[in-house]
Structure 1
């Protein structure tokens, strides 16, 4: 059996080719995503996947916020790749999907097609905002952003520690909402 075992910041060993829900730890997710820079680092100032996830969750309706917060949680175990590169690597997409499914099971995220589409839309709106606020300015069209307007609020990136803490606080808030059925 082929394995691909990584060690997380908590000391756990996780086989990303055979991830189990019990392998998934919230503290690992928050720490790892806070350490990962969006866009492969092609931003004017460090901006983490953890902060991105918090911001995606905030623009979703309450019932989807927990799922929005965790929409990139698999990247905590397999790293983040820029989307144009990720699309060319089916084996990476497969492994990321395995880990993301373990995350969904661990946190009991049951999403329908409409829910997934809403999270994707929020992700794209945030992409437009991130591009405007964090990336080098140019006039090149990004087809994925056609017809998408950025949020009014400007992004001032958080520190790694603040992004990790914001992620954990958002999880606590949204998990509580989830328990209340909101």
Structure 2
């Protein structure tokens, strides 16, 4: 069954993906009214970090978001910063987790194809591909933040920096826990930042616990639990 599409003029393309109720989420023009934080919590709790390539049970994006938000709050006492981190991967409930290696690989192939086609400025094409992928995520993030009652994080430089740094710190801690210490020298970017102040080890929770924890932090840090049905 083809999902119902929004009414657009012939000049406005629509790229629909499913919502859980079978209606359409327009990826080109996401609106705050499209965002369901309950669906987000449920979806992210089933979405595995690192494509699930480790040997243990799935460590979910929801758990990553909760543990990072808790660590950021523990370090800063700032619930708004923690709320931003909780939602920083919110776009993945509509897009899936486009991993960093996947982004790098897409950029590599776009640059190579541009060079083979004789396109001048292949480096510019490579940078443009990176900007395009970032724009895809950002367009959904803006709708997520609006639905949460938060300013677009890209306009709040202090929080944007905190979230980027915590994401890198969590990446290193998670990869070390899930793949072992050797991952630091093989697949991780060089990050000269302290480890996050976590409570307990990084051990997969399971989808139900991760979903409920995500909803709990929505209330705790963002105050939107009433929308998380």
TM-score, shorter chain, exceeding 0.5: yes
What is the aligned counterpart of 2:157 among 94, 113, 132?
A: 113
TM normalised by structure 2 equals 0.70
Residues 1:109 and 1:148: Cα distance change in structure 2 (over 3 Å): same
Q: Deviations over 1:141-171 (max 9, x none)?
A: 5563432343464211110111111101111
Question: Of the candidates 59, 62, 67, which is equivalent to residue 47 of structure 1?
Answer: 59
Q: CA deviation at 1:81?
A: 1.5
Map of 1:180 onto structure 2: none
Contact 1:128/1:145 (8 A) holds in 2: no
Residues 48-84 of structure 1, C-alpha deviation per residue, up to 9 Å, x if partnerless?
A: 0010000111122323111110000001001102112
Aligned equivalents of 2:222 and 2:24: distance in 1? Answer: 25
Following the alignment from structure 1 to structure 2, what is the Cα–Cα distance between the partners of residues 43 and 167? 23
Q: Following superposition, which runs of at least 4 residues in structure 1 exceed 6 angstroms of deviation?
A: none
- CA RMSD in angstroms comes to 2.1
Which residue is equivalent to 1:101? 142
Deviates more, 1:146-155 or 1:56-65: 146-155
- Determine if contact 1:124/1:145 at 8 Å carries over to the other structure: no
> 1:145 and 1:168 mapped to 2: Cα distance?
33
Q: Tell whether the 8 Å contact from 1:128 to 1:149 is kept in structure 2 after alignment.
A: no
Report what 2:8 is aligned to: none
TM-score normalised by the chain length of structure 1: 0.87
Contact 2:176/2:182 (8 A) holds in 1: no
- Number of equivalent positions: 177
Distance 1:22 1:148, change over 3 A: same
Deviation at 1:6, TM superposition (A): 1.2
The 1:11–1:47 alpha-carbon spacing in structure 2 relative to 1, beyond 3 Å, is: same
**Aligned-residue offset at 1:137:** 4.7
Equivalent residue number for residue 134 of structure 1? 178
- Residue equivalent to 2:219: 172
Max radius of gyration: which structure?
A: 2
Distance in 2, matches of 1:92 and 1:106, equals: 22
Instruction: Report 1:68-79 matches (<5 A).
Output: 68-79=85-96
Paired residue for 1:156, among 198, 203, 223?
A: 203
Distance 2:177 2:54 in 1: 9
Show structure 1 runs of 5+ residues with no match.
178-182
Q: Deviations over 1:114-159 (max 9, x none)?
A: 1110011111111111011112552625563432343464211110
1:123 aligns with 2:167: yes
Equivalent residues in 2 for 1:48-87 (5 A)? 48-60=60-72, 61-87=78-104
